[in-house]
Amino acid sequence: MSNKQLDEAKALSYAPIGVFDSGVGGLTVAREIMRQLPDERIVYFGDTARVPYGSKSKETIIRFSRQIIRFLKTKNVKAIVVACNTASALALEEIQSELDIPIIGVLKPGAKVAAETTENGKIGVIATESTIASQLYTKVIQSHLPQAQVLGKPCPLFVPLVEEGWMKDPVTVEVANRYLEPLKESGIDTLILGCTHYPLLRSTVRQVMGEEVNLVNPAYETAIELKGLLDDMDLLNDGKGQFEGPVHQFYVSDAAEKFKSFANSILPYGIDTTQLIHIEEY
Residue 63 C-alpha from the chain's centroid: 18
Which of 104, 195, 213, 219 is an active site residue? Answer: 195
Q: From CA 96, how far away is CA 72, in angstroms rounded?
A: 14
Q: Could you tell me where the DSSP H helices lie in 145-276? A: 158-163, 170-185, 202-209, 218-232, 256-266
In angstroms, rounded to a whole number, what is the distance separating the alpha carbons of residues 261 and 210? 31
Binding mask 72-101 for ligand DGL (x = CB under 6 A): ------------xxx---------------
Binding residues for ligand DGL, how many (CB under 6 A)? 16
Among 125, 159, 193, 263, binds ligand DGL (CB under 6 A): 159
Look at the chain and count its residues: 282
User: Is residue 217 at the binding interface for ligand DGL, with CB under 6 A as the rule?
Assistant: no
From 18, 19, 21, 104, residue interacting with ligand DGL (rule: CB under 6 A): 21
| Spatial separation of the C-alpha atoms in residues 23 and 93, rounded to whole Å | 21
Helix 27-36 and helix 256-266: axis angle, to 10°? 40
Report the 10 Å Cβ neighbour count for 44.
Answer: 29
- Of 15 and 83, which CB lies nearer to ligand DGL in the complex structure? 83
Q: Which stretch binds ligand DGL (CB under 6 A): 63-71, 195-203, 236-244, 259-267?
A: 195-203
Give the C-alpha separation, 282 to 14, whole Å.
25
For residue 195, state whether it binds ligand DGL (rule: CB under 6 A): yes
* Range in contact with ligand DGL (rule: CB under 6 A) among 57-65, 114-122, 189-197, 252-260: 189-197
195: annotated active-site residue: yes
- Of the candidate spans 5-13, 21-29, 117-125, 169-177, the one that interacts with ligand DGL by CB under 6 A turns out to be 21-29
Q: Which residues contact 31 (CB under 8 A, 6 or more apart)?
A: 219, 266, 267, 268
155 is catalytic: no
User: Which residue is closest to ligand DGL by CB?
Assistant: 54
Which positions lie near ligand DGL, rule CB under 6 A?
21-22, 25, 51-54, 84-86, 128, 131, 159, 195-197
Q: Which residues are catalytic?
A: 84, 195
